[in-house]
């Protein structure tokens, strides 16, 4: 009888059984007052005395138990980061960008300076979090380099501190709040956003620089069917607080946007989108501060170079940023369609364009002429009536799959997937009194009016996160009797610009 028991015990592999008993002992005594380690030691001694385990086998089992305890502690430990109870989700977003850039411009013959060019290496960081809150709310917060609202870029080797000669001075590369907003979408047909938000309108860089994040409030109404999506957008953007009065909002300048549009879907990959928008301004009647000065766009000439808006030495006849007489109608549109090929597979094509007309353009031209005459600026032979139109027309092609749009796609770094690519080209024409020059794209073409030319770009996604992009643009003056009104921190001193070139090579890490 005893022999059969020993044979049975041998068949059951006593070492494995002993290990299991120790694990059970640990689990069964987890809530006892005596330490689980004490129970396991007593059990181990008893098994050794009975001859079931050797000392070496007991040590091996103890080592295995220790490893399992460690694994249990790791898997059951509380997470290092826990979302607040009000947050349903959180997503990290943004990008890190490196750039080589060349900008060059020619002035009119005999002017001083007659040329200006800038060649530099640059970097930009945009890093934020966004996601959903409970009860149909969403949020977003993004930090970025540079205080320039039309550019997040900082320049290698640029000393931000006046007079500093310290290599790699970082004072000009601060971190600033680029986006901070809350959204609410209680119904499928309605949503609203308040704060400093990503551009919510359907528009193009011809009218709004893609880096501008408007501040204020926005409302969207939507109606969707299987073939058509209709929408109406309303924006109340706080354009500028002059700071000289506390009477909000009467002294603040607001841009009010009124947009209505639709998307017609012919099939899964073919659609047409159009969305006219009217821009009106409030607070323009308050004079003496900020941008409430008559726009001329001629720049400063000869010895007339002193003064800033609002000062006693400022020559109003040379104002390049005034916002008087602006009632702008913009009509952006695009047609998206598939392009099947035998070599590249399925591609996505895109015809796009934009048209803008300043309804008060003639009044803006008259105010500019009157102010320029008072400032004794030569060269104007009367109001430049007719300088109130802008248009853009272009073509894009790229890998099927990514979302493309006026500021969406690989060339803008909004999407990335390994081995995908995009090419984009457009022609643009912006007349002197056609738009608000403070909102124009600061790269193409330097945020100025009275310029026309072409933009071209190509982007390739080396990995799911790394994008390489090349851009080139050229522009020239439209009306030789007028300056090229507008202001940009990248090239602030030259007006008029006769010819303009820009070349950029970017390497982007998209988060």
- Per-residue pLDDT at 326 exceeds 70: yes
**Contacts of residue 205, Cβ cutoff 8 Å, sequence gap at least 6:** 406, 407, 440, 441, 444
Domain map (residue ranges) of the chain:
2-76, 91-510
Q: C-alpha angle 55/61/63, rounded to 5°?
A: 105
Name the strand (E) or helix (H) holding 507: strand 499-510
Per-residue pLDDT tens digits for 222-247: 999 999 999 999 999 999 877 655 56
Q: State the fold for domain 91-510.
A: Porin (2.40.160)
CA 418 to CA 462: how far, in whole Å?
Answer: 5
**What pLDDT shows up at residue 77?**
53
Higher pLDDT, 312 or 117: 117
pLDDT confidence bin for 296, thresholds 50/70/90: confident
* Maximum pairwise Cα distance, the chain: 125
Burial class (CB in 10 A: 0-12, 13-18, 19+), 250: exposed
**What pLDDT shows up at residue 115?**
79
Per-residue pLDDT tens digits for 43-96: 667 667 766 667 776 666 666 655 555 555 545 555 566 788 888 999 999 999
**What pLDDT shows up at residue 109?**
59
Name the strand (E) or helix (H) holding 10: helix 2-11
Cβ contact 350:318 at 8 Å: no
Q: Which residues are paired to 422 by β-bridges?
A: 398, 459
In this structure, what DSSP letter does residue 189 have?
T
For the ranges 168-182, 213-227, 313-327, the one whose mean pLDDT is highest: 213-227
pTM over the 0.75 mark: yes
CA 391 to CA 384: how far, in whole Å?
Answer: 18
**What pLDDT shows up at residue 280?**
96
**What pLDDT shows up at residue 259?**
98
Higher pLDDT, 332 or 152: 332
């Amino acid at each position: 009888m005893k022999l059969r028991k020993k044979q049975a015990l041998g068949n059951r592999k006593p070492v494995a059984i002993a290990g299991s008993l120790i694990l059970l002992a640990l689990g069964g005594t987890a809530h006892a007052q005596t330490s689980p380690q004490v129970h396991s030691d007593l059990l181990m001694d008893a098994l050794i005395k009975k001859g079931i385990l050797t000392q070496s086998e007991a040590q091996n089992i103890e080592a295995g138990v220790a490893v399992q305890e460690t694994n249990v502690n790791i898997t059951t430990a509380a997470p290092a980061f826990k979302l607040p109870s009000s947050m349903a989700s959180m997503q990290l977003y943004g990008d890190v960008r490196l750039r080589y850039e060349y900008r060059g411009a020619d002035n009119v013959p005999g002017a001083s300076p007659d040329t200006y060019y800038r060649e530099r290496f640059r970097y930009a960081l945009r890093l934020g979090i966004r996601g959903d809150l409970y009860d149909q709310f969403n949020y977003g917060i993004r930090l970025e380099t540079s205080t320039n609202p039309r550019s997040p870029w900082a320049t290698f080797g640029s000393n931000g501190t006046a007079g500093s000669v310290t290599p790699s001075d970082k004072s000009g590369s601060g971190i600033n709040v680029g986006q901070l907003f809350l959204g609410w979408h209680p119904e499928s047909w309605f949503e609203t956003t308040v704060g400093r938000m990503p551009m919510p309108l359907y528009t193009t860089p011809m009218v709004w620089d893609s880096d501008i994040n408007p501040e204020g409030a926005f409302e969207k109404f939507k109606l969707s069917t299987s073939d058509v999506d209709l929408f109406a957008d309303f924006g109340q953007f706080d354009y500028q607080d002059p700071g000289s009065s506390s009477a909000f909002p009467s002294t603040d300048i607001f841009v009010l946007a009124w947009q209505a549009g639709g998307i017609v879907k012919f099939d899964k990959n073919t659609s047409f989108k159009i969305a006219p928008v009217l821009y009106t301004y409030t607070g323009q009647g308050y004079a003496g501060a900020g941008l409430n000065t008559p726009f001329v766009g001629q720049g400063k000439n000869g010895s007339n170079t002193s003064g800033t808006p609002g000062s006693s030495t400022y020559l109003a006849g040379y104002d390049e940023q005034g916002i008087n007489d602006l009632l702008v109608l913009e009509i952006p549109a695009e047609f998206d369609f598939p392009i099947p090929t035998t070599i590249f597979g399925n591609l996505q094509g895109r015809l796009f364009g934009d048209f803008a007309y300043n309804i008060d353009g003639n009044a803006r031209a008259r105010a500019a002429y009157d102010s320029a005459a008072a400032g004794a600026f030569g060269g104007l032979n009367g109001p430049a009536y007719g300088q109130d139109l802008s248009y853009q027309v272009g073509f894009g092609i790229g890998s099927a799959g990514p979302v493309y749009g006026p500021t969406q796609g690989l060339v803008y770094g909004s999407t990335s997937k390994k081995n995908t690519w995009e090419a984009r080209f457009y022609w643009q024409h912006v007349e002197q009194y056609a738009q608000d020059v403070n909102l124009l794209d600061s790269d193409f073409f330097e945020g100025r009016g009275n310029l026309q030319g072409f933009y071209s770009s190509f982007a390739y996604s080396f990995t799911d996160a790394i994008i390489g992009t090349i851009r080139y643009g050229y522009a020239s003056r439209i009306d030789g009797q007028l300056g090229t009104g507008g202001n940009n921190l990248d090239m602030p001193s030259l007006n008029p610009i006769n010819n303009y070139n820009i070349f950029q090579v970017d390497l982007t890490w998209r988060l």
